[in-house]
Structures are given as C-alpha cells and as structure tokens.
Amino acid sequence: MAQLARAGDEAAFAEIVRRYSPRVFRFASKFFRQRSVVEEAAQEVFMKAFTQLGTYEGRGSMEGWLTRITTNTCLNMLRSAKRRPELASADLSDDESTWLENQLSDAAAERHRSSERSLVAADLADRVLENMSPDDRVVLTLIDGEDASVKEVAEVTGWSESKVKVQAFRARRRMRAAVEKLLGQKLPPAVAGS
C-alpha cells in the first residue's frame, strides 16, 4: 500500500489515512484535548506522511513511522503555542479543589471516582501541563500517564534513552513542585530538619 501511495496512487494513500487515522488521533489526543486541534494535528501528520513517503523504507511498521511523525508534529505545535502563566491554588474551581482534597485520602478517591470527576481531573491535568515545557509534557504524558517505556519514548521522539531518562527525572520534579503548590494548605506542613 505504501509503495502504491509512493507511486502517486491516491486511493492507496486514502486507505492509509482511513486505516491509521484512529491511531494518529489517539496519539495526538495525549497532547491536545480540543477536537479541532487534534484534527489539525492529525491532518498535518498525513500531509507530512504523503510528502515523506519516499523516506519510509518499509522496514519498520507504518504505525510506528506515523507515530514518530505525530510526536514531532505535536511537539512542534506545542513549541509554537504560548505557555500559560503558572497555575495557583486560587485559580482552581470548586470541583478541582474538591478533587484534589479527595485524592489525599485513598478511600475518598475511590468513592469519588466517576466520569464527571475524571473530566475535572483531566481538565486540571491539562492546566498543569500547559505550564510545562513541551519536552516535559511528552515524557510525563507517555511514561507516567501511559506507562510507556523509556525505549518506546526514545523511539517516537528520536531522543537517546539517556535523554529521555534525564528529561523524565526533571519533568517529574517540576510536576511535583507544581502540584505541591496547588495543594498548598491541604498538605501537612513541612517541618525544618525532618
């Protein structure tokens, strides 16, 4: 199919789009929540794929090749977007504050698990992630959110495994600091020397 598409067969490329668009959409959804932005990213992915078909040697899977293009496209889109100002606990909605409080108690967290609560959490996660660098977002979303391995992230980003590890280490530190700030008074006070 890739060979036919490379030879200019439009129907073959249309079939590639039809077959792989669910995968590209799911992957782009890890970086963006708005349908229009996810669709814009996915369209750009297939445009690039069409022009770069000559570089696809057919040794790896088409899915893996498209995932790499998707990661790079989303990273570029994140890099060109403006970063939001830092999120403070005062910026949280009532629902978000309640969700955070419930998370501090395992029992309450289980009790309050519902689709509505999940939506609040996903929204809050996005607001926290919007303050972080695109590289931090990639490793946190893929490794901590999706359980991807360091090797898998290295493959889709084109980074070395050691870069992924260092990036993940630093990103976790920054994410923890951001969440600690949001939790503020809800956390036990830090005691000097403890």
Binding-site ranges for other proteins (CB under 8 A): 10, 13-14, 17-18, 21-22, 24-26, 28-30, 33, 35, 38-39, 42-43, 46-47, 50, 100, 103-104, 109, 118, 121-122, 124-126, 128-129, 140-141, 143-147, 168-169, 172-173, 175-180, 183, 187-191, 194
Alpha-carbon distance 161 to 188, whole Å?
36
Q: What is the largest CA-CA distance in the chain?
A: 69
20 or 159: CB nearest other proteins:
20
Q: Rounded to an integer, what is the distance from CA 117 to the centroid of its chain?
A: 20
CA angle at 162 for the pair 159 and 168, rounded to the nearest 5°: 85
Of the CA atoms within 13 Å of residue 10, those in its CB half-sphere come to 0
Nearest to 41 by CA among 79, 82, 83, 70: 70
Nearest distance from C-beta of residue 168 to other proteins, angstroms: 8
Residue whose CB is less far from other proteins, 59 or 74: 74
| CB nearer other proteins, residue 59 or residue 189 | 189
> CA 37, CA 40: separation in Å to the nearest integer?
5
Name the minimum Å distance from CB 172 to other proteins.
Answer: 5
- Measured from the CB atom, the residue of 59 and 185 that comes closer to other proteins is 185
Which CB atom, from 44 or from 59, has the smaller least distance to other proteins? Answer: 44
Q: Is 131 exposed, middle or buried (0-12, 13-18, 19+ CB in 10 A)?
A: middle
Q: Kindly state the smallest distance separating residue 59's Cβ from other proteins, in Å.
A: 25
Rounded Cα distance between 136 and 169, Å, is 9
DSSP string over 75-101: HHHHHHSPPPPPP-GGG--HHHHHHHH
CB closer to other proteins, 22 vs 158:
22
Closest contact distance (angstroms) between CB of 140 and other proteins is 6
